[in-house]
Amino acid sequence: MAGFEGFEKRLELQFTGHDDEDHSPTSDLGLRRLCFQTLESILHLVQCTVVSAVSNHYFDSYVLSESSLFIYPNKIIIKTCGTTQLLKSVRPFIRHARDLGLSVCGCKYTRGSFIFPDSQPYPHSSFKDEVVYLEESLPDHLCYKKATVMPSNLPSMTWHVFAAADESHLLDNFSGDTYTVEVCMTKLDQTLARKFFRRPHDGKGSDLAGKEMTEITGIGDINPNALICDFAFDPCGYSMNGIDGDRYSTIHVTPEDGFSYASFECIGSAYDVGRVVKKAVQVFRPAIMSVALTCPAGRRDLWARIGGALKPMGYKCRSCVADEFPTNENIVFQTFSTRMN
């Protein structure tokens, strides 16, 4: 029997219909007007549920039974693991957004290589099936599309990307120093991974057990300014969403021996990319990992800061590839391993 699939599928949908340039709290909640019952119905199609939630003035954050959901006024980010059918959320999200007067203008789907690919149901049975499903689900005006598999020197680590945009999103000036980083870690240090197991019959709720895991593992130190919503699964496993102003971070852990996996994702600023990734990696000390950095065009230089931060920890960069996408972003995909791997 296959173990639990830790590698997440990640979907980001961008919408227009209100002041996208104003990142301060406004009276126009946009997508945040989607009621909880609507979200539940969409998540039911995906085959996951909400287990915890927290919000601020900028966005709503949900910890799911299998990963995370973030809803901004003009953007939805959802990532799910296991055998969830994430792409079944595309059509209903677009339909319900249309009812709110919002139109989809950009889409990006990313994932790593599954540990147990044969266990994935349609449309996640192959990247080709995923791309066909996305193309059939998106409206025709998202006519600028690109699908690619970014390779590496580690056969178990490849990065799959599909991006689509309409003309307005394509021509939008995506600038600044903001990045999104997705770190996928396997073969976790066994001693550190044990911290994500609960003691049998501990009598604690999942929220309290999760808070203790956040403290004893050092996850709370990655961004001390973040408000953390954490959740511990029984008998093992952990998820957290952190919110800091208009930026999020999220961690998900599958600690079982043989298929241990942890992911870290966040939005940040260029100056801290190396420091943040280093702090996250220190929590797990994986033998193998990939880092996918999404950044504005012209800022590929940020990848060097990640390698520079990981090298003193004993990690060697095994491969580095970069590509441009119609969402006005570059993705730099790197793989690392300890020197004995």
Q: Report the distance separating Cα 119 and Cα 287, nearest Å.
A: 24
Concerning whether 21 is annotated as a catalytic residue, the answer is no
Concerning whether 229 is annotated as a catalytic residue, the answer is no
Concerning whether 12 is annotated as a catalytic residue, the answer is no
Q: Report the distance separating Cα 95 and Cα 110, nearest Å.
A: 22
Q: Which of 68, 113, 239, 249 is catalytic?
A: 239
| 110 CB-near residues (< 8 Å, 6+ apart) | 10, 159, 160, 161, 162, 182, 292, 331
Concerning whether 81 is annotated as a catalytic residue, the answer is yes
Sheet strands (E) in 134-283: 144-150, 159-165, 178-186, 227-232, 238-244, 247-254, 261-269
Residue 62 in tokens? 């949900």
Concerning whether 5 is annotated as a catalytic residue, the answer is yes
Concerning whether 65 is annotated as a catalytic residue, the answer is no
Q: Report the distance separating Cα 182 and Cα 79, nearest Å.
A: 11
- Helix (H) / strand (E) element for 273: namely helix 273-284
How many residues belong to the chain?
341
Q: Which of 18, 66, 67, 337 is catalytic?
A: 67
What one-character-per-residue DSSP string does 184-208 give?
EEES--HHHHGGGBPPTT----HHH
Q: Which of 8, 12, 182, 265 is catalytic?
A: 8
Q: Which of 48, 81, 105, 295 is catalytic?
A: 81
Residues designated as active site: 5, 8, 67, 81, 239, 252
